Structure 1
Amino acid sequence: MEYEIIYEKSSDGWSAYVPELPGCTSAGADRAEIENNIKEAIELHLELLHGQEH
C-alpha cells in the first residue's frame, strides 16, 4: 500500500507526516534521514494499528 508523505523543511531540519495515518510523523536532520525515518514510522504505526485490531 502506498501513502502520501508530506515533507517540510525548517531551519532545524526536516519533518514529515502521513495525512492518512493521523499521528504518524517523524523528523530528521536532512532529506535522506527523514525519508528513512518516515518509512520506519509508517511500518511501526501500521504494526500498532494491526495489534489493536486483535
Structure 2
Amino acid sequence: MEKLNELDTTGVAPLIYMNPERNVWREDVVLQEISVADGLKNAAKHNESFFFVPKIIEK
C-alpha cells in the first residue's frame, strides 16, 4: 500500500466500474419454455415440482 501512495495520481479519475458500460439492461423475452414435467423427467429424484439433490454443506 505504501508503494501505491508514492504514485502521483493527479488527474486520474477514481475507478468505479471496470469497464465504461454501466447498467446495460435488456427486456426479458421468453423464447422457449418447457413444462415442469419435461424439466423433471430425467432427474434421478424429484417430486411434482422440485429436484432432490444430495446435501453437500453440513452445519
Structure with bigger gyration radius = 2
Higher strand share: 1
If each structure's helix is expressed as a fraction of its own residues, which one has the higher value? 1
Tell me the TM-score normalized by structure 2: 0.22
Q: TM-score, normalised by structure 1?
A: 0.23
